[in-house]
Amino acid sequence: MEELSYQGLAILAAAGMLATVINVMAGGGGMIVLPALIALGLPADVANGTYRLGVVTQSIAGSTALHRHGKLDTSQLVPIMIPTVLGAAIGALIATRIPRELLKPIMLVTMVIMASLIVFRKQTLIAPEGPPLVPKEAPRAYVGLFLAGLYGGFIQAGVGFVLLSVLVGTLRHDLVGANAIKLVATLAFGTVALGIFVWAGQVSWTPAIVLAVASIAGARLGVKVMLKVPVPALRWLVFVCVVATSIAAWIR
């Protein structure tokens, strides 16, 4: 694996901050960072594990900030986190066992597909009428949360939109409140996934720390922007960035 240059680390820090702003507001930022890591020379499996430290730090910073603003409902955290953590552990274990030559095309194609869904499935972020539900009142939510965790453990990139489709579309949370719950869930299963990737030796620590620091700054900015900028405005930005970085990673 190549050592990243100072220029490469600077580019990675900028991508990490932008991705975190997007992640805090909705999701999909990881689809920018992962192809960027691959384009900068990291193998797909190491890129997949390296990004997880930034996921953990941005989740801590973002959920803490939203809690201070009174936007985090803690009453539903446990029933939401249990299926997502279980799914993430399985997904991360699967990811660590797939050959990197196969993992790279799987990751890039999946991220482009996910970015396309984010753009064209606008109704995902619109809550049905009615008060918020707890998972036991909508049992299909458990399946959705487990699959979100499975995907998050396997790739992570775009998992925020998968979680929001359950939290908003099924459990009827408003977008800001759902984002707060989403960040706590990603903190929980992101920590588990990071531990598995560390155990598998698939984390490059220098870029991981750069992303972690950039993610803290990006999370604080993202919370401020989220309260002022409509989330749908991000969809096309995410799509364009994902396609561009995925092409660069594929060529690499």
Q: At 180, is the pLDDT very low, low, confident or very high (cuts 50, 70, 90)?
A: confident
Which has the higher per-residue pLDDT, 165 or 47?
47
- CA–CA gap between residue 222 and residue 225 (Å, rounded): 5
- 194 CB-near residues (< 8 Å, 6+ apart): 49, 52, 53, 55, 56, 203
Is position 113 within any domain? yes
Is position 231 within any domain? yes
Max CA pair span of the chain: 53
Question: What are residue 217's phi and psi, to 5 degrees?
Answer: -65, -45
Any idea what DSSP says for residue 1?
Answer: -
Helix (H, G, I), strand (E, B), or coil: what is residue 157? Answer: coil
Is position 1 within any domain? no
Helix (H, G, I), strand (E, B), or coil: what is residue 204? Answer: coil
Helix (H, G, I), strand (E, B), or coil: what is residue 172? Answer: coil
**Predicted pLDDT at 244:** 54
Tell me which residue range forms the domain holding 45: 6-251
Q: Residue 186 in contact with residue 24, Cβ under 8 Å?
A: no
Is position 200 within any domain? yes
- By the 10 Å C-beta count (0-12 exposed, 13-18 middle, 19+ buried), 119 is classed as middle
Query: Could you read off the pLDDT of 14-64 as tens digits, one per residue?
Result: 888 888 877 776 666 777 788 888 888 899 899 999 999 999 998 898 888
Q: At 7, is the pLDDT very low, low, confident or very high (cuts 50, 70, 90)?
A: confident
Query: Could you read off the pLDDT of 197-244 as tens digits, one per residue?
Result: 999 999 999 999 999 999 888 887 877 776 665 555 555 555 555 555
Is position 92 within any domain? yes
Query: Could you read off the pLDDT of 104-131 as tens digits, one per residue?
Result: 888 878 877 776 666 565 555 565 667 7
Q: Residue 133 in contact with residue 141, Cβ under 8 Å?
A: yes
Torsion of CA 31, 35, 37, 41, to 10 degrees: 170
> Into how many domains does the chain fold?
1
